[in-house]
Amino acid sequence: MNSSLAEERKSGGLLIGLDIGGTKLHGLLVDRAGRVFESETLPTGAEEGSDAITRRIYRLTERLLPRGSRVDAIGIGVPGPLDAHAGVILKTENLPFRNLPLAAMMRERFGMPVILENDGSAAAWGEYSFGPAKGADPLVYLTVSTGIGAGAVAGGKLYRGKNGNALEAGHIPLLAGKGPVCACGGRGCAEALASGKAIAEKAAEAAQAARERRGAPTRLSTLALPQAADVFSLASGGDEVAERILSEALSFIGYCAATLAVLFDPQAIVVGGGLARSGPRVGEAVRSAIAATPTCAAGGCTVISPGLGDDAGALGAASLAAKTEHGSIR
C-alpha cells in the first residue's frame, strides 16, 4: 500500500473526482493536496443512452473506491446546461441526459456528499489550484474537445453565474444568427463551427463530396468516418481540403478565446481539451487572436498550455467537492 494513501485512509482525506465527457468518462482518487492515487477511464458510449452511461459512471466510481478507506465526497464535472444547486443535468448537447438528478442518484448509491459542476468550471478550478497557472487571477480555461466549454476564476472564486451555467462558451453566437444550426437550437454557435464534432461533420461532408466528384479531392475520402484528429493529421501532411476545414475552425476558436479575454481581462488563459492536445495549432490560434485584440494584448494576458492534461476536470471537481461554500462573483 502507498504510505501516503495509508495516511489519508486514517485521516479520511480522500476524494473522488469524475469528468463526464462526450467521448470518455475519467475518474481520480485524490487527496486534498491534489495527489492522485488512482486513475480510471471508461468509454462514454453516448449512443447507448442515458441509463447505460449512468451505469458506467457507477462502475467507474466503484473502481476508484479503495478498500477499508473513507472517501469524504465525490465531485462530478459534466457538460451543461445544468442546475448545479439541485445537482441536476438539464440537457447536454453531446450526451443523452435530460433532467437527470445525478447528484442525488450518486448520493443514494454511495452514501456520501456529491456535488455537480459544469465541466469547464471544474477544469478551470483544477488548473487554478494545481496546474502551471496556479494562482493566476483572473484565470479563464477554454476547452476544445467533442464540444467547446469554458470556466473562470476571479477574486479567488469560481465564477458560476446564477445556476452554474456561466461561460457556456460553445454557445457564444459567433455569426450573429447565421451559419450552421447548433444542437442548442441557435445558429452560428462556436460549438457548431469549431468543436471536434463540427470538424468531423465538415470532414465527412468533404469526403463524400470528393467521392462523388463534386468536391475537391482529399485523402479524407479514404476514411469511412473521418474524425477531427484525422483533419489535424492530414492538414499537417499538406491535404488542402483538411487544411481549409482546420483553418476555418481555428479562426473561430480564436474569436471565442478573444471574446472571453475581453470580458474577463484575465492574467492567463489555459487552453485544454482533446483538440488542444492534437498539436500546437489550437494554442497558436488563440495566441494570435489575443495578440490581435488591443485590450487583451495591452493587458499582457498569457496563454498557457494545460499542465494537468486529462486530469484537470476530475481534479477540479474533487477539490470543489471538498469545499462547502459555493461562492460566486456578483
Segments making up each domain of the chain, as ranges: 3-124+311-322, 134-306
Do the domains 3-124+311-322 and 134-306 sit in the same CATH topology, yes or no? yes
Question: For the residues 286-298, what does the mean pLDDT come to?
Answer: 83
* Contact status, residue 275 vs residue 282, Cβ threshold 8 Å: yes
Q: With a threshold of 0.85, does the pTM exceed it?
A: yes
Is residue 68 over pLDDT 90? no
Is residue 17 over pLDDT 50? yes
Q: In sequence order, what DSSP letters do the residues of 124-174 get, joined into one string?
A: HHHHHHHSTTTT-SSEEEEEESSSEEEEEEETTEE---SSS-TT-GGG-BT
* Contact status, residue 193 vs residue 174, Cβ threshold 8 Å: yes
Is residue 5 over pLDDT 70? no
Question: For the residues 88-106, what does the mean pLDDT come to?
Answer: 92
CATH number 3.30.590.10 is the correct assignment for the domain at 134-306 = no
pLDDT above 90 as % of the chain = 73
Question: For the residues 188-215, what does the mean pLDDT come to?
Answer: 96
Cell of 296: 487583451
Is residue 99 over pLDDT 90? yes
SS3 175: coil
CATH for 3-124+311-322 is 3.30.420.40
